[in-house]
Amino acid sequence: MFRRSLAMLTLAAVAFTTGGVSATSAYADTKYRGEGDQVLRIRATKKPGIIRFTHDGESNFIVYTVNPRGKKDDLLVNEIGPYDGAVLYNAYSSKGTIGLAIKADGAWTATFKPVSGARCWCSATLRGTGDQVLKLTPTRGLRTMRATHDGDSNFIVYGYPRIGFYPDLLINEIGSYKGKVLLPTGTRLVTVKADGSWTLVRR
């Protein structure tokens, strides 16, 4: 009943008394746990990274980055109900991140990882569910990506030839999808936003 007022954050492996976490430790699988609405503080950083979120509630789960001016900035997650996914933050033209503003009705976790901790798209075919960040050997020449999605909401795929710069929008559809698109030369990171299961095949 009083979950939100009693929500507490714990930092896996290392305990901090300052209420913050350095950018260095945030790239070493630093894990926060909480319940309900919270604001996390981290040391300001402009370095791109990955956050894996989980949520076991039934209502809105919304996460924004907070920039050094104390304002909400990038919308990282906006889902209803349970959630388990990975997203990129400080992806491009970022003012930097000093915290996260979290809206939730259940228990959640936020695990910070370096970009190098992205899931490897090592073979031609890759299957997954929900939001993911994928790394691959930079593409060369004419390469394509065939994709399918069986969800009901947004299916958005970006390709990043260089981290920290604007990406290429590869797919932006709602609901089920099946198609083939160009995978631009130099693509080394791909982000997937999805509410269902998906398959990516590169050639």
- Give the pLDDT score at 17: 25
- Give the pLDDT score at 164: 79
Q: What is the pTM of this model?
A: 0.84
Nearest to 9 by CA among 104, 80, 81: 104
Q: How far is CA 47 from CA 43, 62, 81, 179, in A?
A: 11, 22, 30, 33
- Give the pLDDT score at 174: 97
Q: How confident is the model at residue 14 (pLDDT cuts 50, 70, 90)?
A: very low
The model's pLDDT over 17-72, given as tens digits with 9 standing for 90+, comes to: 223 334 444 656 789 999 999 999 998 899 999 999 999 999 999 999 999 999 99
**CA 139, CA 63: separation in Å to the nearest integer?**
32
Q: How far is CA 12 from CA 39, 98, 168, in A?
A: 17, 19, 35
Nearest to 38 by CA among 58, 52, 19: 19
Q: Please say if the pLDDT value at position 93 is more than 80.
A: no
User: In angstroms, what is the C-alpha Rg of the chain?
Assistant: 17
The model's pLDDT over 68-79, given as tens digits with 9 standing for 90+, comes to: 999 999 999 999
- Give the pLDDT score at 15: 29
